[in-house]
Amino acid sequence: MKKATFGAGCFWGVETAFRQVEGVVDAAVGYLGGTLENPTYQDVCTGTTGHAEVVEVSYDPLKVSYDQLLDLFWKIHDPTTLNRQGPDVGTQYRSAVFYHDEEQKKAALASRERLRESGRFRRPVVTEVTPASTFYRAEEYHQRYLEKRGKSSCYI
């Protein structure tokens, strides 16, 4: 198994999207990229911890490639809005790829560059590509949030 971590706004819809991919073994929502140890949802929502709402994806690279996961990431959110997705505003909603090794870093940077050159968006792609740091799993009520409520997606 390998890990991939993505920030694409509110983590509920992002988690649901990745769970639907064949080869994804698990997806957990949480917080990454900040300075506070063991942050809570309330901490992250203050916008002062530096964390992003993220989804940590565990996947089988024999069934799904990292590039395929990147392709989905670009499709499910707007990578041109700085610290915002839909009605959610704040640094915790930033667009980010958190890489776990040099191979992921190269793939993420190349993928972002292809997207920038594609002309798909009128505005610049602002997605950060950053080394993964400590992943803090979100509170249990956030895990599979939409599934628990009988919903298949949210506004992302």
6 close to 71: Cβ distance less than 8 angstroms: no
Distance between CA atoms of residues 8 and 84, nearest Å: 9
* CA distance linking residue 57 with residue 89, whole number of Å: 24
Question: Which residues are bridge partners to 129 per DSSP?
Answer: 97
Looking at the DSSP assignment, which residues form a beta bridge with residue 87?
A: none
| Contact status, residue 44 vs residue 60, Cβ threshold 8 Å | no
As annotated, the active-site residues are 10
Output the six-digit token pair for 61: 């690279």
